[in-house]
Amino acid sequence: MQSRLILANRELSRGLIRLVPALALLGLGACSSSSHGASDPGSDGSGGGRGTLSSGTGATTSSTGSGGSATTGSGGGSLGGDSGIATGAAGAGAGTIGPTPAGTGGVDAGAGAGSTSGGSPGAGGATVSAGADGGVGASPTPSGGSTSATTPIMRGPDPTMASASTAGPYTVKTYTSGYKDEPNFGAATIYYPTDAEAPFGAVAICPGFTATQSSINTWGPFLASHGIVVMTIDTNTTGDSVVQRSTALMDALDCLKSENTRSGGPLMGKLDTGRMGLMGWSMGGGGTWIDANTHPELKTAITLAGHIITAPGGTGAIKTISVPTLMFAGQTDSAILGGGMSQPIYTQIPDSVPKMLYEISGLGHDAGNNPANNSKNVGLYGLSWQKVFLEGDQRYKQFLLVKGPNASDFRTNLK
């Protein structure tokens, strides 16, 4: 198995190497019919079961269960498909984060936060199912049930490392049809919480070259179980370029905005359209950088081993990002895929903009694809970034002020 994964990774790298000169000139990717299968992470033996999965049309995800989630353990998992990339094993003895008081300074979340009360994370984690909205339960957000971008959305009791790194307290449903048909992406899945009170911030996530949404879909139920709506997308072809993926991501956000006004839709009137962010893996990460560079209205950008060298201008074109940006990277990632591309982007983001680079020792190109990776610290940092900068909940900032466990390169300007 290991030898097959290594050979597959070599083939993907060779394909990208052959494409680099042409893509650099045209900003286009070659069409491809191959795709990655779903990530198959190993268990770290830390206990806890899976949550339940109620299957239905288009539902392709599972969620974490009582007290734990699948994590990348010794030996790692792998991505399936014709050109899968081996998942690197998490480094043994990864450190944990001790209690740290919330820092001062940083982003001003605005005044007027209402008091909150909500369900605390309980056993069983999130339940993912497909179908119609099951209704909204009582789990209040700030007084009044609606917010603006200057009023924080604060849900539930004060977070802990455990609650912020595993499935949240809310039940998650999905749907794969009924939304506005946009021309620049293919199929999509929308994940939303059914028993958290609106309004919700929203995030669109794009996969990488040759991959489909199955390669990054574990972020959907994870973030939605914490009260954030997620739309994972397929590109029109798996060979779409970085620039095409940037367009696809903005189309996805337009689609989500339309869901807020679609009569009879499960999200009608429930989205705060002033709270939207982007995430992307590999070329999808490059698309995220391009959009963050040109759309200052975005609240967050998170890249997962972002790839930008085949886009016009490469890393040198990304110089005006004003969106809070978190970059996950893998120490063993190939330079043709995403290795070393996040560092210059980090340097070019102005110091006035919240930014973080978290390169994980021993992991490769898919280091950030699953929130369970690196002993769940990928989820901890990814969720905390969305909570602080998408929702304005400063209670999660404490987790971002500590150097990421098992980091080979960790940089941030947060204080």
Contact between 414 and 401 under an 8 Å Cβ cutoff? The reply is: yes
Radius of gyration of the chain (CA): 19
pLDDT of 356 reads: 98
Identify the segments of the chain with pLDDT beneath 50: 1-146
With a CB cutoff of 8 Å and minimum separation 6, the contacts of 210 are: 12, 15, 32, 34, 35, 36, 81, 82, 83, 238, 239
Residue position matching structure tokens 């602080």: 388
Average confidence score pLDDT of the chain? 75
Out of 44, 195, 240, 333, pick the active-site residue.
333
Closest CA to 389 of 161, 109, 202: 109
What does residue 317 show for φ and ψ, rounded to 5 degrees? -85, -10
Q: What is the predicted pLDDT for the residue at 149?
A: 61
Q: What is the predicted pLDDT for the residue at 127?
A: 36
The string of pLDDT tens digits covering residues 57-81 is 333 333 333 333 333 333 333 333 3
Q: Where are the domains of the chain?
A: 2-26+41-412
Q: Is 78 a known active-site residue?
A: no
Pairing mode of beta strands 128-130, 53-54: parallel
**Closest among 229, 231, 233 to 184, alpha carbons compared:** 233
pLDDT of residue 150: 74
Name residues whose C-beta falls within 8 Å of residue 178's C-beta, 6 or more positions apart in sequence.
262, 265
User: Of all helices (H) and strands (E), which one includes residue 128?
Assistant: strand 128-130
- Is 36 labeled as catalytic in the residue annotation? no
Class of residue 166 by CB neighbours under 10 A (exposed 0-12, middle 13-18, buried 19+)? buried
For residue range 176-220, list pLDDT tens digits in order: 999 999 999 999 999 999 999 999 999 999 999 999 999 999 999
Is the separation of the CB atoms in 305 and 281 below 8 Å? yes
Candidates 241, 361, 365, 393; catalytic one: 365
> What 8-state DSSP symbol labels residue 232?
E
3 state SS of 174: strand
Q: What is the pLDDT of residue 21?
A: 41
Provide the pLDDT for residue 35: 33
Please report, for residues 144, 180, 257, the alpha-carbon distance to residue 265 in angstroms, rounded to integers and kept in the order given: 22, 11, 12
CATH class of 2-26+41-412: alpha beta
Residue 333 known to be catalytic: yes
Query: How much is the pLDDT for 313?
Result: 94
- Longest Cα–Cα distance of the chain, Å, equals 57
pLDDT confidence of residue 148: 57
CA distance 360 to 367: 7
Query: CA 213, CA 217: separation in Å to the nearest integer?
Result: 6
Distance, in Å, from the CA atom of 378 to the CA atom of 372, rounded to the nearest integer, reads 6
Report d(CA 165, CA 393) in Å as an integer: 16
Catalytic residue, candidates 78, 163, 214, 282 = 282
Output the pLDDT for position 50: 30
